[in-house]
């Protein structure tokens, strides 16, 4: 079987009690995968095309090699979490790569429905039409405890977090004077755009993303020499001021 099939089976069988953080769910699942998978490489915080995936599994068989990317979300309860997850999924190229999404803790049915609809993942037991790549959503649902409900961030708090991240990128780009440092900073800004779904916030953001954050060098996180003129640097610094949060 492929890495996707083996890992999917193990994730479904994985017995996890309610845990206080996404990190603890990730570590528990990694321990399970490493215990049961033979001839497989299981990595945490794996870098791929300018983003970081929670868990990466690469399996070497007698005739072929295969891989699967895993993203874990705890308490799937807000649109902001959905937007960040979609950004992470898109950066992993779901049309090309096998992806498993594991939702742990409390789950909002409406948000889950939107996620299923976006990636054409039917409800369990519903007939599945053929899709060219593997994409599955596995639920490890637990009722939220009082601490989760009390600690759920308000929309204003989430907005402040996004604004702070974008303002940090703006300050960094304004303060950059070495041309070779612009591409790495744009790579970090691309990650923030994908994590928070900023390209969908406005046509200005979408234009900025297409103009500055889709270059292969930015996606790969490289820092090549050259390519930056004073005119282009001035244009970048002007454009970042128009980003909407």
* 100-137 pLDDT tens trace: 999 999 999 999 999 999 998 887 765 555 554 689 99
- Claim to verify: residue 38 and residue 94 sit in the same structural domain: yes
Q: Please report which confidence band the pLDDT of residue 154 belongs to, taking 50, 70 and 90 as the band edges.
A: low
- Claim to verify: residue 143 and residue 163 sit in the same structural domain: no
Q: What is the pLDDT of residues 3-33, one digit of tens each?
A: 999 999 999 999 888 888 888 999 999 999 9
Mean pLDDT computed over 218-226: 78
Among 122, 151, 180, identify where a domain stops. 151
- Claim to verify: residue 103 and residue 165 sit in the same structural domain: no
Angle, CA 29 vertex, CA 27 and CA 32 arms, to 5°: 110
Residues 6+ apart with CB under 8 A from 187: 50, 218, 219, 221
- Claim to verify: residue 191 and residue 83 sit in the same structural domain: no
Q: What is the mean pLDDT of the chain?
A: 86
> Is 245 within a domain?
no
User: What's the confidence (pLDDT) of residue 196?
Assistant: 80
- Give the span between the Cα atoms of 236 and 211, in whole angstroms: 10
Q: Is residue 115 exposed (0-12), middle (13-18) or buried (19+ Cβ within 10 Å)?
A: buried
User: What's the confidence (pLDDT) of residue 153?
Assistant: 52
What domain range is 99 assigned to?
3-151
pTM (two decimals) = 0.62
- Claim to verify: residue 134 and residue 161 sit in the same structural domain: no
> Is 139 within a domain?
yes
Among 120, 136, 151, identify where a domain stops. 151
């Amino acid at each position: 079987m492929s890495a996707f099939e083996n890992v999917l089976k193990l994730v479904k069988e994985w017995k996890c009690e309610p845990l206080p953080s996404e990190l603890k769910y990730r570590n528990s699942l990694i321990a399970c995968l490493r215990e049961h998978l033979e001839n497989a490489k299981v990595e945490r915080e794996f870098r791929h095309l300018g983003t970081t995936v929670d868990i990466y599994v690469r399996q070497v068989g007698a005739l072929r090699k295969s891989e699967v990317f895993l993203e874990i979300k705890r308490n799937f309860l807000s649109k902001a979490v959905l937007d960040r997850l979609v950004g992470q999924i898109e950066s992993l190229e779901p049309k090309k790569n096998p992806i498993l999404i594991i939702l742990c803790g409390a789950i909002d049915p409406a948000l889950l429905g939107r996620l299923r609809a976006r990636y054409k993942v039917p409800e369990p037991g519903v007939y599945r039409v053929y899709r060219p790549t593997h994409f599955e959503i596995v639920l490890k649902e637990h009722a939220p405890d009082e601490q989760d409900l009390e600690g759920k961030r308000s929309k204003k708090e989430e907005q402040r977090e996004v604004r702070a991240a974008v303002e940090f990128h703006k300050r960094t780009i304004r303060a950059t004077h070495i041309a070779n440092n612009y591409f790495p900073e744009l790579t970090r800004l691309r990650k923030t755009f994908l994590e928070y779904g900023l390209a969908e916030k406005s046509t200005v953001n979408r234009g900025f993303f297409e103009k500055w954050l889709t270059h292969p060098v930015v996606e790969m996180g490289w820092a090549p020499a050259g390519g930056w003129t004073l005119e282009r640097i001035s244009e970048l610094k002007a454009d970042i001021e128009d980003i909407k949060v």
